[in-house]
Amino acid sequence: MFQLVLTVGSLALLIFALVDVITSDSWKFRYLDKVSWAFIVILLPLIGSILWLVIGKHRDQPTDRGTFGDPRRREAAVRYQSPEEDAAAVEREIEFHEREARIRRLEAELKAKRSDS
């Protein structure tokens, strides 16, 4: 009975740790990247899961990223801009797309001139 509880507990810990590794944001990883932690958790189920939970993951918000570490907070920060800031952002976006369109037109013209030669 004890071995069954230990086996089920280890399997539950493995599944929890693996799901946690897969769904964690990139800024939460310590020492290794997501793929490496996933392999450690899979290849060393009990030890890898414990290592992930103890040393592999930051548990708090990053202090150096401000509101832009968490996508939900970033969306909230963008959503509550003043109308002047929104208008300026729209203008910058329009200018960017106009520059990109101009670059594409010039590249097409250059390509056409090269193919004519």
pLDDT of residue 94: 93
Predicted local confidence at residue 19, as pLDDT: 93
**Separation CA 57–CA 61 (nearest Å):** 11
- Please check the confidence at residue 63 and state whether its pLDDT lies above 60: no
83-110 pLDDT tens trace: 777 788 889 999 999 999 999 999 999 9
pTM for the predicted model, two decimal places = 0.49
d(CA 23, CA 76): 21
Residue 28 has pLDDT above 90, yes or no: no
Give 4-21 pLDDT, tens digit per residue. 998 999 999 999 999 999
* Sequence-distant (≥ 6) Cβ neighbours of residue 91 within 8 angstroms: none
**Per-residue pLDDT at 110:** 92
pLDDT at 117 over 90: no
Residue with tokens 């797309």: 97
Q: Chain-wide mean pLDDT for the chain? A: 82
